Chains A and B, each alone.
Chain A
Amino acid sequence: MTERGVRRVFEPGTTIDDLKAYMGPFAERLGYKFNTETDFVDEVLSSEIEILERDGDVYCPCRIRTGDPKEDLKIVCPCIPFYRDHFAAISKCWCGLFILKDVEDGAELIGVLDDPAPGTPVEVPVVRLRELPDGAIRHVKIGKNDVAVARTGDEVFALSNVCRHAFGPLAEGFVDGYFAVCPWHGWRYDLRDGTTDHPNADVRTYEVRIRNGLVYVIVPFAG
């Protein structure tokens, strides 16, 4: 990490330690850490270096590029942002290189885990509380859900990011007390329940939990 953010440069001769230095803080911001099984971590990262040298980027060692650039971007490591709900449901990324921060022993997460039943509530870490200051509102993609996470005072709320009026992005607007204000035409949504002053144009809200400095949004597992 630098003051200007994450530096992502893979020079020829990139090492496992280089990848750890880049990916560790990246994953931490998303509520994850490297698996506690260090030999396994080194095995995965050494595969990623092989892939980097062969294919030009650190693609997941357990999935294959299809040739569709949009799809292939979704398997560049760490791929957590694309699969937030699924990975939160199984406490790890697909290959188990990263595990949720509050998991103590990553050994049992190596291998396949069964997905929960569709509809099961999943706690998805979305942002560190200190990166969401009072009055901030941020867009987070959770599976297919476009969610705006907003803070007012010490309280954090989550609601659909999409304004019901003309589909404006609420997270590009601002927070005014308990209201998210759409940047396009000023429609106001109550952060507490998603209501607005127009009839039948409320937006969906999500339950939020804050634990160990992380904001979690609860979504039903999509399956």
Chain B
Amino acid sequence: MNVHLYALSTCPYCRMTKRYLEEHDVSFELTEVDQLEGDERQQAVDDVKRLSGGTSFPVLVADEQVVVGFNKTRIGEILGF
């Protein structure tokens, strides 16, 4: 499964989500949106808006499914923990 985590370097829930994925040995692609600049940043913000309907983090995308926030139950369901 292709897992992509959009996060902010400043966000406690993003840190918790990263830790949670690591604890479960999930390999994931990480985009720290606030660390990007210019077009790259705008593209990432647009992606997050399109995927989640907002600008809140973290946004976890696993194949077609999207989880906003550190929602352990939903993440577990999707990733089969």
- Chain A residues with CB under 8 Å of chain B are 40, 43-44, 47-48, 50-51, 61-64, 66-67, 71, 75, 94-95, 111-112
Interface residues of B in 32-60 (CB under 8 A from A): 33-34, 42, 45, 48, 54-57
Q: Mark B7-24, 1 if CB is under 8 A from A, else 0.
A: 010111110100000000
* Bound CA span A50–B15, Å: 15
* CB of B73, distance to nearest CB on chain A (Å): 9
Known A-B contacts A66-B45, A66-B55, A94-B56; the reply to A61 vs B10 at CB < 8 A is yes
Interchain CB contact under 8 A, B57 and A111: no
- Chain B residues with CB under 8 Å of chain A are 8, 10-14, 16, 33-34, 42, 45, 48, 54-57, 68-72, 74
* Bound CA span A48–B56, Å: 15
* CB of B75, distance to nearest CB on chain A (Å): 10
Interchain CB contact under 8 A, B13 and A111: yes
Interchain CB contact under 8 A, A62 and B56: yes
List A contacts of B55 (CB < 8 A).
63-64, 66, 71, 75
| Other A-B pairs, 4, CB within 8 Å; known A62-B11, A66-B55 | A64-B34, A111-B16, A111-B70, A112-B71
* CB of A111, distance to nearest CB on chain B (Å): 5
